[in-house]
Structure 1
């Protein structure tokens, strides 16, 4: 795992792979954090039952979609996840935004996800060169959206929940993943037929690093949301989606990039969890993968 972490860091340090927009000298993301979990970790089965037994994939199910002729047990698989932290300059620009996203954030949302997709392919190809079969579930043709009976909008494979299982963070009131590098991040993952030592999960609850859940003292993400989609009850996905699709995406097309991007993320900056785990001891960001 250490070798893979180093290889990913080198790949991300190359501006040809990690740029805020094509041709830019500015990175889209800072140094990534990596973690992993066993494909047999019972949390993956719990996530399937909780999110959607009819559609949500376990690591074994995702892997078999990529390699249908292979017969294997869940314990033969490892799930590798990463966190890509937004840069300080992107966060600073977005912190000043109120009702509409900053152009820096919109670039990071669009071109940054291209970086994330490139990293998924790089990890799969790197492992393949070592004779290890791997697949990025989010890039599989069968990946798609679904409706969770409990949570509404969902998908076959959640990158945030996967990162949570891999020891990289817990959820906040806004449904964002609070990581050792904060909540202003993007995440990705692959499933590989290799045995790796799992990253310890330094938490026992899914919301342990959220100040509101841990101490009842924070409403920052509620105040930052221009759609009123975050409340004491949590994150209203429909309100959030309506605001992004109906307000911010057209704004990005008209005023920023010339095409629609589902950019918002205002709840990810201007909060105590923007760039750190706010429940960690003072001076530390919390455990890192």
Structure 2
């Protein structure tokens, strides 16, 4: 079943640019699975917020969380390296990828229903508290639980294909063997005490080695949204994700 689901996800992402005539291109996604009974889900209420949802909140009888990371083509990330503001290409990629994640989840839900299984679609973004800026369902943290990657100093999920992309997740009552967390530290600073290039890349002094000011970060995201208001909600920045060693790679093949 794993192979079938991964084939569906990878095929959908591959065909999506032609299907929807997008400006954005994506590389092959990574997929991982978590057992809803994994104790790490309970810990998310301690790590993130007491209001963080559990898989069963979306689907009664849930058994598995399916997570996936969809990497941007390198040109998307490279376009966002220069300057203080996010590039238009990055802003467009954000909008189009969020839409693709929603479309993909609906597609997978339909395919699972054909097999006799139920599932729940979860929005790609903007399911967070507007004052605390904390999500009630963090796709990145759920993907960590599923073994898709580990967190960098920049608070982004670093997968074996880097951090420049988007994470999605959904819940199903299909039982799928969970992916093991491999225990590999993918952040060079956390693992070896070197790098901190993401701190240097932060354009609004929100990120430091020992702290993160999420409100200063979001201030910059809203500034970029004002630049690209015609595209939809583009509260993005991502300067700390581009031009760094973990943009496109995991620890095993980092320079």
| Residue 56 of structure 1, CA deviation | 1.1
Equivalent in the alignment of 1:81: 67
8 Å CA contact 1:32, 1:84 repeated in 2: yes
| Residue 226 of structure 1, CA deviation | 0.8
The match for 1:136 among 121, 130, 137 is 121
The match for 1:42 among 39, 43, 51 is 39
Equivalent in the alignment of 1:67: none
* Structure-to-structure mapping, 1:249-260, within 5 angstroms: 249-253=225-229, 257=230, 260=233
- In the TM superposition, what whole-angstrom CA distance separates every residue of 1:101-146 from its partner, at most 9, and x where no partner exists? 1121111011121111111111111111111000023379xx8423
Secondary structure of the structure 1 residue equivalent to 2:34: strand
8 Å CA contact 1:167, 1:202 repeated in 2: yes
Alignment TM-score, normalising by the size of structure 2 = 0.91
Gaps of 5+ in 2: none
In the alignment of these two chains, the number of paired residues is: 254
- Equivalents in 2 of 1:46, 1:27: separation in Å? 35
| Residue 218 of structure 1, CA deviation | 1.1
1:182 aligns with 2:159: no
Gaps of 5+ in 1: 65-71, 284-289
The match for 1:57 among 38, 53, 58 is 53
Equivalent in the alignment of 1:266: 239
8 Å CA contact 2:139, 2:167 repeated in 1: yes
- In the TM superposition, what whole-angstrom CA distance separates every residue of 1:184-205 from its partner, at most 9, and x where no partner exists? 010001110011111111117x
Secondary structure of the structure 1 residue equivalent to 2:21: coil
8 Å CA contact 1:138, 1:157 repeated in 2: no
8 Å CA contact 1:98, 1:224 repeated in 2: no
- Equivalents in 2 of 1:109, 1:139: separation in Å? 10
| Residue 275 of structure 1, CA deviation | 0.3
8 Å CA contact 2:148, 2:181 repeated in 1: yes
- Equivalents in 2 of 1:147, 1:5: separation in Å? 34
CA RMSD of aligned residues (A): 2.3
Equivalent in the alignment of 1:168: 148
- Equivalents in 2 of 1:101, 1:137: separation in Å? 26
1:101 aligns with 2:86: yes
Pick closer, same or farther for the CA change 1:4–1:258 going to 2, 3 Å. Answer: closer
- In the TM superposition, what whole-angstrom CA distance separates every residue of 1:230-289 from its partner, at most 9, and x where no partner exists? 1012321010011111x2111223xxx555521211111100100011x32568xxxxxx
